[in-house]
Structure 1
Amino acid sequence: MSVLEFKLSNLSFAIDLSVGHLVHFTVAEEGRVLSPLHRAPWVDDSGAVFEETTPPNVRRLSGDFFCAPFGRNNVEPGPSHGWPANSAWSHMGTDETTDRLTAVFTLKRKVMGATVEKRLTVRSGHPFLYQEHRLCGGEGAISVAHHVMVQMGEGGRLAVSRKALACTPDEALEPDSARGRSVLAYPAEVTDMKSFPLADGGTADLGQFPPGERHEDFVTLVEASPDGTDLPVGWSVASRNAEMDRVLVLKNAAQLPVTMLWMSNGGRDYAPWSGRHTGVLGIEDACASAAGHADSISPNPFNEKGIPTAYALAEGRTAIVRHVIGACSIGQGEGDVEDLSTTDGQITLHFTTGRERTLPFDTHFLAGGRT
């Protein structure tokens, strides 16, 4: 079996070693098991049909995976989202105590000459999965991203840390109407997420998912403080209607200054998607340009504004990317998420009703990285 599962106290997670995807992450809370991540319906379908060019990351599409580079892989030969999301990993060992478990993995291939290491950690009492990726050595520069996918079949709300702008790329994900469709305007740029232009006129609130029916859309959100000075922790919280829970996706805003939203709601008609990939919200925290690796390491509209889109690689240097996924239930009368704050050892959700929810959190974890 290529899937390894790990458990500690009320937490569990599993990784698909064939592609490095996080298969699932669960949190047991007050008699409920919260399972926030998405797994494509064809992954466990032995009769699934694929186009010949379908990369492994789509064939095994699950939960979350680390992209290096993000998107188009057009600097060195390789599939979209890079070898970390498309090729085999080795389990190097697990360090476990009564209150902490860390599993360590190494990518069997190299990326731009760099060795890639994955560390997944859970802590007893913390409803979070702490992820760290290390790119050791190499040369040149690489864009990176996490590719978290949340299943929101009955929709929900998305709250995010303060953003400077939201923009779509020059072209829709599926420009050929015979293969798929989008509802947002391309290209478009706004400073108000609640009023994003639609292709046929009018606007959509990006805080409400989904923004349309039978569509495939992609939006990049830029942190209001991309250097992290005003807001060191960037965050996204998806509140799911059917599941009555909240999915927390946390990052160091300076390390991953953009968040790319992938809205996959039955908007692709070709195999394996075939209109059945619905209600999926991708929350993809990145240091990247959506146009791919070559664009990310060249002058582009983001880095020309001081927003980094790649990590430098060098012999003797280690680039470290840290990221956190968590989950908690929705409490009665809480309302929508309005803000998020951290103090030593905890994180607090602030709601529109004036109520608060505090969760245990390793506040120092996201402060490390990017050396």
Structure 2
Amino acid sequence: MTKLGEARSLVWQHGVVSVEDLGGQLGPTLFVLPDGQQVAPFHVAPWADEPGGEELPGILKRLRGEWPCVPFGADADRAPGDGWPGSQAATTLDPFPHGFSSNNSWRFETDADGSIVLSIDYPEDHPIRGLRRTVTPDPNSATIDFTLEIDVRADCTLPLGLHPSFRLPAKLGAMRIEVGSNVAGMTFPAPVDASSIFSQGALLEPWHHVPLVGGGQLDVRQVPLAHATEELVQLLDMPGRAALWNSAEGYRVRLSWNPEHYPSALLWFSNRGRTFAPWNGRHLALGLEPICAAFDLGQQVSAAENPISRRGIATARSFRAGENFITKYRIEVEPADVL
């Protein structure tokens, strides 16, 4: 069994929220809607409590919910394709996938009234000194407010991201991604996985019309997809808001964030495509991830000129030594029609 570390929970009139120390990840969270319905929209990986979990990277051991990624992505030995800079794993600033904080234990603060507050110190040779995360249920609604503080040790340029991941209904197409058709997108510039079917490095206008490797096109607004696949689509120049409508269970999740901090959003279609352990062809989730990054390609690619930054969309943020960067975002749940 994967060893469970420390966790904290808060009960409020409109639900129960829990946070785990590993990765600071939001655990199972129940929202009570005005019509009395109880919904649990966040994803929990099916292997979270299975034997052998201790052998997995920290981020995968109990993969769930939502958490911040500083830096976002991971450097690796790769050349993504035409117009994209390469990167090397050997020179990486942070060797952990989605950053040190995504793979290590945070510590909880004890004097947080009405909130769950936790923080983590980074290694002494890292340009980030540490993070502080505050999770606060709204006393008046089925809403959670988040604050992330980044304490900067040294000048640096890093990709940033938030990683909300949502549970999908079993019925094909029963969750609709509500992002306006005026938004453009881009597919990942390489195969995400052996199962990937999206054409690589394609500019999408609108974002949901995706060309396929074998020809034809797929409208990806409704998930789960009919194909077993693993895909990434970056939504470009986002307005700082998006929603997911679960038409099978009758609720909508709304996300809002500061678009100056996160000008893009990454859609992670984890649609039973990965057949190796621990995924084993059973992982079904959707990530809707506000980012200032070039996909999850890591610091070297995101901080360099790339096809997304050349469109005037920031893919990394410059920090100054001594800066305390603060960003806030919100996730709210409301009743919606059942189809």
Interval containing the TM-score (normalised by the shorter chain): 0.7 to 0.9
Does residue 190 of structure 2 align to residue 171 of structure 1? yes
Distance in 2 (CA, whole Å) between partners of 1:41 and 1:108 is 29
2:15 to 11, 15, 36: 11
Q: Are residues 1:287 and 2:292 paired?
A: yes
Is the CA contact (8 Å cut-off) linking 2:120 and 2:131 kept in structure 1? yes
Distance 1:211 1:199 in 2: 16
Instruction: Name the amino acid aligned to 1:281.
Output: L
More contact order relative to length (CA 8 Å, sep ≥ 6): 2
Q: Which residue of 2 aligns with 1:152?
A: 168
- On the 8 A contact 2:190/2:201 being kept in 1, the answer is yes
* Structure 2 counterpart of 1:329, from 327, 335, 338: 335
Q: How far apart are the structure 2 equivalents of 1:304 and 1:189?
A: 13
What is the alpha-carbon distance in structure 2 between the residues aligned to residue 7 and residue 190 of structure 1?
Answer: 42
Given residue 109 of structure 2, which amino acid in structure 1 is its aligned partner? M
Amino acid at match of 1:34: V
- Count of residues in correspondence between the two structures: 312
User: Residue 161 and residue 122 in structure 1: after superposition, are their counterparts in 2 closer, same or farther (change >3 A)?
Assistant: farther
In the alignment, the residues of structure 2 paired with residue 77 and residue 156 of structure 1 have an alpha-carbon distance, to the nearest angstrom, of 35
Task: Find the counterpart in structure 1 of residue 83 from structure 2.
Answer: none
Structure 2 distance, partners of 1:138, 1:32, is: 46
Question: For 1:152-185, what per-residue CA distance to the aligned partner results, in whole angstroms no more than 9, with x for missing partners?
Answer: 13331111156542111211111xx4xxx02211
Q: Aligned ranges for residues 220-231 of structure 1 at < 5 Å?
A: 220-223=234-237, 231=239
In structure 2, what residue type is equivalent to 1:65?
W
Distance 2:57 2:308 in 1: 28
Judged with a 3 Å threshold, the aligned counterparts in structure 2 of structure 1 residues 253 and 161 are, in CA distance, closer, same or farther, namely: farther
Is the 8 Å Cα contact of residues 26 and 33 (structure 1) preserved in structure 2? yes
Which range moved further: 234-243 or 73-82? 73-82
Q: CA RMSD in A?
A: 2.0
Q: Decide which of 113, 119, 122 is 1:106's aligned counterpart.
A: 119
Q: Give the direction of change, closer, same or farther, for the CA distance of 1:206–1:297 in structure 2 (3 Å limit).
A: same
Is contact 2:145-2:331 (8 Å) kept? yes
Separation in 2, partners of 1:294, 1:170: 15
Give per-residue Cα distances to partners, 1:70-89, cap 9 Å, x unaligned. Answer: 11145324211011211111
Query: For residues 114 and 305 of structure 1, what CA distance do their matches in structure 2 show?
Result: 32
Instruction: Pick closer, same or farther for the CA change 1:282–1:8 going to 2, 3 Å.
Output: same
TM-score (structure 2 length as normaliser): 0.86
Cα displacement (A) at 1:282: 0.6
User: Paired residue for 1:93?
Assistant: 110
1:287–1:323 CA distance, 2 compared to 1 (3 A):
same
* Residue 71 (structure 2) pairs with residue 69 (structure 1): yes
Q: Please name the residue that 2:45 is paired with.
A: 40
Determine helix, strand or coil for the equivalent of 1:22: coil
Gaps of 5+ in 1: 225-230, 336-371
Q: Does 1:143 align with 2:159?
A: yes
Matching of residue 303 in structure 1 with residue 309 in structure 2: yes
Unaligned 5+ runs, structure 2: 76-88
Q: CA deviation at 1:49?
A: 6.0
Q: Percent identity?
A: 24
Offset, 1:15: 0.8
Separation in 2, partners of 1:218, 1:269 = 17
Query: Retained in 1: the 8 A contact 2:159–2:292?
Result: yes
Deviation at 1:127?
1.9
Q: How does 1:225-240 map to 2 (within 5 A)?
A: 231=239, 234-240=240-246
**Deviation, structure 1 residue 107:** 0.9
**Residues 24, 65 of structure 1: alpha-carbon distance in 2 compared, 3 angstrom cutoff:** same
Q: Name the counterpart of 1:211.
A: 225
| Residues 74 and 97 in structure 2, CA contact (< 8 A), matched pair in contact too | yes
TM-aligned CA deviation for residue 263 of structure 1: 0.5
Instruction: Output the amino acid matched with 2:203.
Output: E
- Higher alpha-carbon deviation: 248-257 or 158-167: 158-167
Q: Residue by residue, what CA displacement relative to the aligned partner does 1:19-64 show, whole Å, maximum 9, x if unpaired?
A: 211112321123221211000011122x2468x6x42111220001
The equivalent position to 2:259 in structure 1, one of 253, 257, 260, is 253
Alignment deviations for residues 103-131 of structure 1 (CA, whole Å, 9 cap, x no partner): 22111325523221111111211221111
**Any idea what SS the aligned residue of 1:43 has?**
coil
- Maintained 8 Å contact 1:94/1:103: no
Cα distance in 2 for partners of 1:159, 1:147 equals: 18
Q: Distance in 1 between matches of 2:311 and 2:209?
A: 23
Q: Secondary structure at the match of 1:322?
A: strand
Q: Which residue of 2 aligns with 1:130?
A: 145
Aligned-pair CA distance for 1:319: 1.5
1:284 Cα deviation after fit = 0.9
SS at match of 2:213: coil
